Amino acid sequence: MTNTKKRKSIKWLIANYMSFFETFGMNEQNIRSYYQEWKIEFSDNINDFLWHIFNTLLNENAAQSNDVLGFYKRNIEIYLQMLYFRRKIEGKKANEIQNCLNRNKLELKFESTDLELNVVVSTTKDCDSCKELEGKEFPIREVIKNDVIPYENCTREQGCACVYSFKTLRDKNDVLIRKSK
């Protein structure tokens, strides 16, 4: 099979991703010179280089973050870009990235609230293995221990689009329940 798509260039990368890279403190000069070094050792394929940068950002974020909320927020930004790239540019399902994205949103929600929450699953009709979970509720602590969305079995053509939303819990007097420590 021949690849009729034009090979992407460093120009394409700069045009499409520079504003994202800048939010992580990189400038155009950094990216260009890093690519020059990288392609000698690995390949001149821009997609591979971009994927490498995404993974580098994840590692750096894990190594350097001092604030837990900032750590999850930055991870979410990176995984959103990774998901878009895999699905829109490469045409892959990338359910493992959807999983990472949902996981970081879940952890961020748990860390940033002092209320007790339930997780509500939102799914799509075009996935047979996920659709029975539609609207089901689970205590957030349970979902943090064990994910409830079966990402690997999702049959949706464009990739799993199931997400978690959150619901505050109230006691019998209709007062919001605070998180127990």
Q: Which residues bind Zn ion (CB under 5 A)?
A: 127, 130, 154, 160, 162
Q: Which is nearer to Zn ion, 114 or 157 (CB)?
A: 157
Q: Which is nearer to Zn ion, 44 or 134 (CB)?
A: 134
CB of 122 to Zn ion, least distance (A): 10
Q: How many CB atoms lie within 10 A of CB 121?
A: 20
CB of 76 to Zn ion, least distance (A): 19
How many residues can be counted in the chain? Answer: 181
CB of 165 to Zn ion, least distance (A): 15
Q: How many CB atoms lie within 10 A of CB 96?
A: 16
CB of 138 to Zn ion, least distance (A): 16
Q: Which is nearer to Zn ion, 13 or 149 (CB)?
A: 149
Q: Report DSSP letters for the chain, one per residue.
A: ----SPPP-HHHHHHHHHHHHHHTT--HHHHHHHHHHHHHHS---HHHHHHHHHHHHHHHHHHH---HHHHHHHHHHHHHHHHHIIIIIS----HHHHHHHHHHHHHHHHHT-SB-EEEEEE--TT-TTTGGGTT-EEEHHHHHHS--S-GGG---TT----EEEEEE-B-TTSPBPBPP-
Q: Which is nearer to Zn ion, 52 or 92 (CB)?
A: 92
CB of 127 to Zn ion, least distance (A): 4
Q: Which is nearer to Zn ion, 88 or 179 (CB)?
A: 88
